[in-house]
Structure 1
Amino acid sequence: MWLWKQEEKPEIFKVCDLRSELDGINLIPETQVLKWLNWIPKKINCFLWRAVLDRIPTRVSLALRNIHLPSVLCALCNSASESVDHLLISCQYAQLVWTAVSLWVKISLPRYLLSLVGLMEHIESQCSSQEIKKAVYLIAAATCWILWRIRNNLIFNGKITQVSRAVGDIKAISFFWVKARAGKTDLDWKKWSEFRCFK
């Protein structure tokens, strides 16, 4: 007979008691903003999950792991330490991209937004229908992914991408994801580029 101490006195171990105990544990607060959305490729879902948990290899996180770097400054703006929240949200370059994306999806972003978790919470509160929430969440994931790729392209290839090109890439990749993965094969590019497809 297996015993375990759930409260003060030992009890007979039951799997159902363990399950209820585990269900009662609060999740990491940061992960409560994440959705495993099948409209988004698995690789991007994983990337977003790692980004929210601050597990992508930014310069700050690499320096914390004692990896020698010439600088921990952001490659895109060269004015602040490259943390996840800086790179994906508060960097000057990222701010320009997010401003263009917010105008496209017709959601205003507050100026005080400083974290990826805050952005996801804001998106959740601003969207009315479930389909629009999914679409905007997908666009936010695409934006984070494109910003990460732009950063890597600059570091490893020395090539900077113009903001207008970045926004065009976000629109294109999110269009393909929605068209192929959300089953919206009749989706029109013109409506998508004006974000008039989820009324």
Structure 2
Amino acid sequence: MHHIRALEESYREHCPGTLETIAHIFISCPRAQGVWARLGINVGVEICHYPWLAGLELQLPRATHLDVITLILWHIWKARNAVIFDQHTMTLQMVLRRILNDMDSWKTRYKQYDQEWEAWRLFLSSYG
């Protein structure tokens, strides 16, 4: 892997003493774990390389599944960057609300799956 810093060069405000890797950011960081747990999604190392395998237990149409997982990953990444670059810690509810806002923006893309999309959106909004 490129650009991974040695432990002594890697500083994680929320996870001091932890080497920041892709697996840490998206899987083992307690903040990422909180998002996955709240959504009832079991993740493992596969999410870093095969995100379409994550969240198969969700009741999402196949055509929307990867987009929802990608949105979740994107907002975990953005929450990490907010801490590093803006010194702003996003709560779990803030991350979920941002996912929800993007889902609202994407709604017109999934008109044929409107009921399933809306059901998952309502599920998500109950946590955000």
Considering the TM-score relative to the shorter chain, is it more than 0.5?
yes
Q: What corresponds to 1:114 in structure 2?
A: 45
**Aligned residue-pair number:** 121
In 1, the alpha carbon distance for the partners of 2:64 and 2:54 equals 14
**Is 2:1 the counterpart of 1:63?**
no
- Contact kept, 8 Å, 1:138 with 1:174, in 2: the verdict is no
Q: What corresponds to 1:174 in structure 2?
A: 103
Q: Which one has a larger percent helix, Structure 1 or Structure 2?
A: 2
TM-score, normalised on structure 1? 0.49
- Residue 5 of structure 2 aligns with an amino acid whose one-letter code is A
Identity value in percent? 18
- Aligned-residue Cα RMSD (Å) equals 3.3
In 2, the alpha carbon distance for the partners of 1:181 and 1:75 equals 37
Q: What corresponds to 1:81 in structure 2?
A: 19
- Residue 194 of structure 1 aligns with an amino acid whose one-letter code is F
Q: What corresponds to 2:28 in structure 1?
A: 90
- Contact kept, 8 Å, 2:10 with 2:19, in 1: the verdict is yes
Q: Which has the larger radius of gyration?
A: 1
- Residue 157 of structure 1 aligns with an amino acid whose one-letter code is D
Q: What corresponds to 2:90 in structure 1?
A: 161
Structure 1: runs of 5+ lacking an equivalent: 1-53, 56-60, 65-69, 103-107
Structure 2: runs of 5+ lacking an equivalent: none
> 1:183–1:155: structure 2 CA closer, same or farther, 3 Å change rule?
same
Q: Deviations over 1:25-47 (max 9, x none)?
A: xxxxxxxxxxxxxxxxxxxxxxx
> 1:187–1:121: structure 2 CA closer, same or farther, 3 Å change rule?
closer
